[in-house]
Amino acid sequence: MKRQDARFHGILCLDKPEGFTSFDAVAKLRGMIRQRRIGHGGTLDPFATGVLPLFLGRATRLCDMSPVEDKRYTVTLRLGVETNTQDMTGKVLKECDGQISRTDLEALLPLFTGAQQQLPPMYSAVQVGGQRLYDLARQGIEVERQPRDITIHHINLLDYNENTRRAVLDVACSKGTYIRTLCHDLGQKLGVGGAAETLRRTEALGFALQDCVGYDTIAAALEEGEEAFARLLLPLETVFRSCPAVHLSPAQDKMFRNGVRMDLARIHGVPDRESGLLRVLGNQGEFLGVARASYETSELITVRNFCGG
């Protein structure tokens, strides 16, 4: 099959397997469907699994546009150990035999919720001076990093074994939060060290595990035919399903497609106050793009038009 630039358009939610970087996941799909134009939303560590939205064709234009940026994870925290990567794939630096009770752990979790600052780990893709931190870390170089503002919405303790000192946590957080670092910091606060042992992303960019498929499902669909694979794709509009929808008349449909600003008072469905992005639906109910309402000028302003290629 000849490689084509953009044969498929839509969103494929992949349940990323362990051992793949996010780039590996994109590269594998490119090889399977013979299409270059694929991007991903939300990097996952190789040892992590779970929700990785992949954007195909025209959908690559909205990789960085999701109105939902929060993430959710299930992580196994292993207490009593500290590693250079803050997870169990790294080199063990320290071990501690101190015992931690369930009560001790439960009492600590509320202190790590809410708005806070977090120091990015050296083994991360953050750039300092034009270099990725993980590249410097692999050379044995540690540099000063600036803490970043994050929010942890909740940490729920799902299970804890006091004998093995393994805790299973459900964490909902903002974009940019490092769950490995959360595990490290929890362990430090408890005085025994901690590292992430397993990590599974359960929600990202408004998608959840129930939206995902694995490579086996993809391969089976491709074996059946291109139409079967296309049925696995979610439409572009799905990213904006949490946004209010505005409906255009035939004349307004044509104006939007041509990038013309329109009078808010003449458009059906515009919220009474600022609501962020709006889904723009055409005369036949089809998704045309996203816009913002300017209440100062009383205009609908196009943010991104998805009508063309």
Residues 45, 87, 211, 253: which is the catalytic one? 45
Report residue 59: phi and psi, to 5°: -65, -20
pLDDT of residue 308: 63
Fold classified for 243-305: 2.30.130
Class of domain 71-203 as given by CATH: alpha beta
45 belongs to the catalytic site: yes
Helix/strand/coil for 13? strand
Q: Where are the domains of the chain?
A: 10-65+206-238, 71-203, 243-305
Q: How many CB atoms lie within 10 A of CB 111?
A: 11
pLDDT of residue 2: 46
Shared fold status for 10-65+206-238 and 71-203 = yes
Mean pLDDT per 10-residue section of the chain, whose length is 309 residues:
69 96 95 95 92 94 88 98 95 95 97 94 72 73 82 98 97 95 97 97 96 98 96 94 93 91 90 85 91 91 81
pTM: 0.90
pLDDT of residue 5: 61
pLDDT of residue 64: 83
What is the homologous superfamily of the domain 10-65+206-238 according to CATH? Pseudouridine synthase (3.30.2350.10)
